[in-house]
Amino acid sequence: MMIRSVSTQPYDDQKPGTSGLRKKVPHFQQANYVENFVQSIFDSLEGFEGKALVVGGDGRYFNREVIQIVMKMAAAAGFGKVIVGQGGILSTPAASNVIRQSGAFGGIILSASHNPGGPKEDFGIKYNTGNGGPAPEKVTAEIYARTKSISEYKIIDAPDLDLDALGDFDLGGMTVSVVDPVAAYAELMESLFDFPAIKAMFDGGFTMSFDAMHAVTGPYATEILENRLGAAKGTVKNGTPLPDFGGHHPDPNLVHAKELYDLMMSADAPDFGAASDGDGDRNLIIGKGIFVTPSDSLALLAANAHLAPGYKGGLSGIARSMPTSGAADRVAEKLGIESYETPTGWKFFGNLLDADKATICGEESAGTGSNHVREKDGLWAVLLWLNILAARKEPAKDIVAAHWREYGRNYYTRHDYEGIDADAAEGLMAHLRAELSSLPGTKINGLFVSMADDFSYHDPVDGSVSENQGVRVMFEDGSRMVFRLSGTGTAGATLRVYLERLATDPDKLALETQSALADVIGAAEDLAGIKQRTGRDAPDVIT
């Protein structure tokens, strides 16, 4: 095997964000940009010699090229094996599963999640550890430190490997196993959910529309929903993964999955609608005539999880990210189990799942998952919903309404201001932080502030502390607003404003969300001066 050492210069912008390193494709195409980051990952790890590395991505533009580089660098670094999905494809939750099942040392996942793909669009590289989950902050900090001092990388000289043929191949003395990306994942889902009951529901005429958004879940959803569960052919829409996602944002929200939303609100709606994102870890759930917010979906799934065979023994606890609504907390309370509040990003759930403190986790950004893998999992959420629908034999809309009657309803919305000037965004956050200590006891837009802070998280498992995770302002009536800047964007800054109010009055459970939250929305503007500071009249995306 011919190992080549190539000298290189550090880049100063390879700091992993909320979920790995994300940049535009041309940025990644700069000389040695990919190689520097991959070598920095390897340099910050210890003890992988002879062990396996899982590699796969969501199929977006540049996926195949980067996989070839990663495989050749893994061979040069001394890995014994690379396990790669056929065609370079592995959804993020499937990659997590392969890492766990194969006992691999770790994995490299190539994705920019729900961001658009194509020659001028987004790409991303993320490292997952042996538990199958995103590298914790101490690992990403080491990777980042290494990117700043790197002076050479190692790669073998070998022709590109055919990623489309299944089987074991030799690459410079290292084995490359090209595996079916769907099979093991489909088996895992079959082990968790009552497939016969869901199949009987489809056989009985239940209809569904699943929008795979030309992203990675197409093959997974087709195999599981249509082939194994007997949903009608055509249930899966946009099921072929495309390198540019057909020119769309593979983001399953009400803006980018509008067609599905419109269908579900129409007279011809099927019984159930769902979608997933670029790399298959997010979910959108829409019942006939009702959009279920991800925060509500988390609470509902937790409250009903015992109906699925994989969770019939109950949950050890529920974890949610701080900006996610408090709906799940009340379910935990009723179940008599712990609830946890973590910073934004799935990596913070890993320790809780590993220590069996939490079984189900979720984020308001359409991420829900459980201890079956260490990533959020879009299809898992859809299948748990289907299992619940099959067991309860009620429409989604009635199940949601009954949940609100029992627990109250957390009206919830997120307002995103995308691509704003980075200095203006930092200025807005700095201003908020400066105000925090003087806010309690004051009134903003008619609402009394009871508490205000910048969220810090004390990990109950490893004792690590993560500070400055978002500004929260709580009001005496139980409403809340949260401000933070996105850590996944690739252009300018994105301000996220999260707004929430709990309603328990049975007559106030069916209001329109934006009007139910109008005074909290007004308070956010009054306090933060969003319009004046960002120059924007309205949010770009409201979820």
Please say whether the beta carbons of 88 and 109 come within 8 A: no
Q: Residue 525 CB, nearest distance to ligand G1P (Å)?
A: 20
- Tokens at 169, concatenated: 């191949």
Q: Residue 429 CB, nearest distance to Zn ion (Å)?
A: 25
Considering only CA atoms, which of 393, 392, 337, 391 is closest in space to residue 360?
Answer: 337
> Which CA distances in Å does 176 have to 67, 85, 165, 496?
12, 10, 11, 42
Applying the rule CB under 6 A, the residues between 19 and 38 that interact with ligand G1P are 19
Please say whether the beta carbons of 127 and 133 come within 8 A: no
Give the nearer residue to Zn ion in terms of CB position, either 113 or 534.
Answer: 113
- Based on the shown chain and the rule CB under 6 A, indicate whether residue 57 belongs to the binding site for ligand G1P: no
- Based on the shown chain and the rule CB under 6 A, indicate whether residue 8 belongs to the binding site for ligand G1P: no
d(CA 206, CA 311): 24
Active-site hit among 19, 113, 276, 479: 113
When CB distances are held under 5 to 8 angstroms depending on the partner's kind, the choice from Zn ion, ligand G1P, none that residue 115 binds is: none
Please say whether the beta carbons of 339 and 328 come within 8 A: yes
Q: Residue 425 CB, nearest distance to ligand G1P (Å)?
A: 12
Give the nearer residue to ligand G1P in terms of CB position, either 20 or 317.
Answer: 20
When CB distances are held under 5 to 8 angstroms depending on the partner's kind, the choice from ligand G1P, Zn ion, none that residue 18 binds is: ligand G1P
Q: Coil, strand or helix: which one is 447?
A: strand
Applying the rule CB under 6 A, the residues between 475 and 494 that interact with ligand G1P are 486-488
Q: Considering only CA atoms, give the Rg of the chain.
A: 23
Q: Residue 281 CB, nearest distance to ligand G1P (Å)?
A: 7
Q: Which of the ranges 250-258, 275-283, 330-338, 431-439 carries the binding residues for Zn ion, by CB under 5 A? A: 275-283
d(CA 316, CA 306): 12
Give the nearer residue to ligand G1P in terms of CB position, either 283 or 387.
Answer: 283
d(CA 302, CA 121): 36
When CB distances are held under 5 to 8 angstroms depending on the partner's kind, the choice from ligand G1P, Zn ion, none that residue 486 binds is: ligand G1P
Please say whether the beta carbons of 273 and 382 come within 8 A: no
- Based on the shown chain and the rule CB under 6 A, indicate whether residue 368 belongs to the binding site for ligand G1P: no
- H helices of 336-470, in order, are 350-354, 378-392, 396-407, 422-435
Q: Residue 445 CB, nearest distance to ligand G1P (Å)?
A: 25
Give the nearer residue to Zn ion in terms of CB position, either 221 or 388.
Answer: 221
Residue type present at position 325:
S
Residue from 122, 194, 251, 279 that binds Zn ion (CB under 5 A)? 279
Give the nearer residue to ligand G1P in terms of CB position, either 100 or 414.
Answer: 414
When CB distances are held under 5 to 8 angstroms depending on the partner's kind, the choice from ligand G1P, Zn ion, none that residue 487 binds is: ligand G1P
Q: Residue 376 CB, nearest distance to ligand G1P (Å)?
A: 7
Give the nearer residue to ligand G1P in terms of CB position, either 287 or 470.
Answer: 470
When CB distances are held under 5 to 8 angstroms depending on the partner's kind, the choice from ligand G1P, Zn ion, none that residue 279 binds is: Zn ion
d(CA 56, CA 511): 44
Q: Is 113 a catalytic residue?
A: yes
Give the nearer residue to ligand G1P in terms of CB position, either 117 or 310.
Answer: 117
The Cβ of residue 476 has, within 10 Å, a number of other Cβ atoms equal to 13
When CB distances are held under 5 to 8 angstroms depending on the partner's kind, the choice from Zn ion, ligand G1P, none that residue 346 binds is: ligand G1P
Treating both helix axes as pointing N-terminal to C-terminal, what angle do 63-77 and 33-43 enclose, rounded to 10 degrees?
A: 40
Binding mask 325-364 for ligand G1P (x = CB under 6 A): -------------------xxx----------------x-
Q: Which residue is nearest to ligand G1P (CB)?
A: 486
Strand partners, 363: 367
Contacts of 26 (CB under 8 A, 6+ apart): 119, 120
- Based on the shown chain and the rule CB under 5 A, indicate whether residue 377 belongs to the binding site for Zn ion: no
Applying the rule CB under 6 A, the residues between 112 and 131 that interact with ligand G1P are 113
- Based on the shown chain and the rule CB under 5 A, indicate whether residue 500 belongs to the binding site for Zn ion: no
Please say whether the beta carbons of 370 and 359 come within 8 A: yes
d(CA 326, CA 302): 13
Q: Residue 18 CB, nearest distance to ligand G1P (Å)?
A: 3
Residue from 35, 281, 375, 459 that binds Zn ion (CB under 5 A)? 281
Q: Residue 219 CB, nearest distance to ligand G1P (Å)?
A: 21
Q: Residue 277 CB, nearest distance to Zn ion (Å)?
A: 4
Q: Residue 182 CB, nearest distance to ligand G1P (Å)?
A: 22
Please say whether the beta carbons of 389 and 201 come within 8 A: yes
Give the up-direction half-sphere exposure of residue 289: CA atoms within 13 A in the CB hemisphere.
10
Residue from 122, 277, 459, 500 that binds Zn ion (CB under 5 A)? 277
Q: Which residue is nearest to Zn ion (CB)?
A: 113
Q: What is the dihedral of CA 164, 170, 171, 177, to 10 degrees?
A: 50
d(CA 461, CA 288): 41
Residue from 129, 359, 365, 490 that binds ligand G1P (CB under 6 A)? 365
Please say whether the beta carbons of 23 and 56 come within 8 A: no
Q: Coil, strand or helix: which one is 320?
A: strand
- H helices of 283-421, in order, are 294-304, 327-335, 350-354, 378-392, 396-407
Length of the chain in residues, anyone? 543
Binding mask 108-127 for Zn ion (x = CB under 5 A): -----x--------------
- Tokens at 397, concatenated: 């809309």
Residues that bind Zn ion (CB under 5 A): 113, 277, 279, 281-282
Residues that bind ligand G1P (CB under 6 A): 18-19, 113, 321, 344-346, 363, 365, 367, 486-488, 496
Active site residues: 113
